């Protein structure tokens, strides 16, 4: 597992190996590269929120590609330490905040960290088959944690069903890479001029 592009391109990330079993399921390099190709210029100077961060690969890829800051949220203490190791290895300590919090209880704690206009880019990669993606997505929308021009990228089991609409956020792109499915959401009326 490595950083695909940007200032930390080629940097190897510490992977969980067998230590964490099903607790950590890193996004494949291939899928990560494809998703970031779709996001393109939306990453530059973005304020990023990486939820169920695992190794931190998604947030770190964003920082490597020019994102301004990233907040990483993970429940397991040992996995949080893994994220911190990867942040240090990539040289993004000053641009990163790591929180050990259980998102199964909802994302309300993030309201205190919300930038004035909201996060620009959110990665939501919950454990498969637990329904947490829907719950946290609904919380993000309800709490207005994401900027009106922002993008939410949900990764879950490819067979999961995500609605076309979450409040006024609509799924404008859907991808599948192996067992992983990706749903990209933005607010209705946003970015229409870019298509």
pLDDT, position 44: 96
Domain ranges of the chain: 28-190
Per-run averaged pLDDT (10 residues), the chain, 195 residues = 89 72 66 89 96 94 97 94 95 97 93 92 90 92 94 92 92 92 87 45
* Ordered DSSP codes for 124-183: E-PPTTSSHHHHHHHHHHHTT-EEEEEEEEEEEETT----SEETTEEEEEEEEETTEEEE
What CATH fold (topology level) applies to the domain 28-190?
A: Rossmann fold (3.40.50)
pLDDT, position 192: 47
């Amino acid at each position: 597992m490595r950083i695909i592009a940007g200032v930390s391109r080629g940097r190897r990330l510490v992977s969980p190996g067998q230590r964490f079993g099903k607790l950590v399921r890193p996004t494949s390099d291939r899928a990560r590269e494809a998703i970031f190709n779709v996001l393109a210029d939306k990453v530059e100077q973005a304020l990023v929120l990486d939820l169920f961060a695992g190794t931190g690969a998604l947030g770190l890829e964003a920082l490597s590609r020019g994102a301004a800051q990233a907040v990483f949220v993970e429940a397991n203490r040992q996995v949080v330490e893994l994220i911190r190791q990867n942040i240090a290895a990539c040289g993004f300590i000053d641009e990163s905040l790591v929180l050990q919090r259980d998102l199964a209880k909802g994302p309300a704690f993030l309201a205190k960290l919300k930038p004035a206009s909201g996060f620009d880019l959110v990665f939501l990669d919950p454990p498969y088959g637990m329904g947490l993606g829907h719950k946290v997505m609904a919380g993000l929308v309800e709490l207005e944690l994401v900027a009106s021009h922002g993008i939410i990228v949900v990764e879950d089991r490819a067979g999961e069903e995500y609605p076309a609409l979450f409040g006024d956020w609509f799924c404008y792109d859907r991808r599948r890479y192996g067992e992983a499915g990706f749903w990209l959401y933005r607010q209705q009326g946003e970015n229409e001029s870019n298509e």
